[in-house]
A = this chain, B = another copy of it.
Amino acid sequence: MKARVHVMLKTGVLDPQGEAVRHALGQLGFDGVEGVRQGKVIEIDLAESDAGAARETVTRMCETLLANTVIESYSVELV
């Protein structure tokens, strides 16, 4: 079973990577860009075949390693 985790900085937390991308897009002539946020996507191949157990495991991975929950939010999607 495959899981995809999105980790984004929470709203209100300064995102310098996103700001850099927004600035660069402006320099390249792309108008109408109102905001950019950049985060991580982590794709995990699991031996687990039960969807509930897989989601529970991946949520624990997020809490312990993948996300800094003070400043980042995460979402888990099974694919």
A residues at B contact (CB < 8 Å) = 6, 8, 18, 21, 24-25, 28, 30-48, 57, 60-61, 64-66
Which of A28, A36, A44 has the most B CB atoms < 10 Å from its CB? A44
Contact A41 B43 (CB under 8 A): no
Contact A41 B40 (CB under 8 A): yes
Q: Output the least CB separation between A73 and chain B (Å).
A: 12
Task: Tell me the number of copies of this protein.
Answer: 2
7 A–B contacts from the bound complex (CB under 8 Å): A34-B47, A36-B45, A37-B43, A38-B42, A39-B40, A39-B42, A39-B43
Cβ contacts under 8 Å, A25 to chain B? 61, 65
Nearest residue, chain B, Cβ from A60: B30
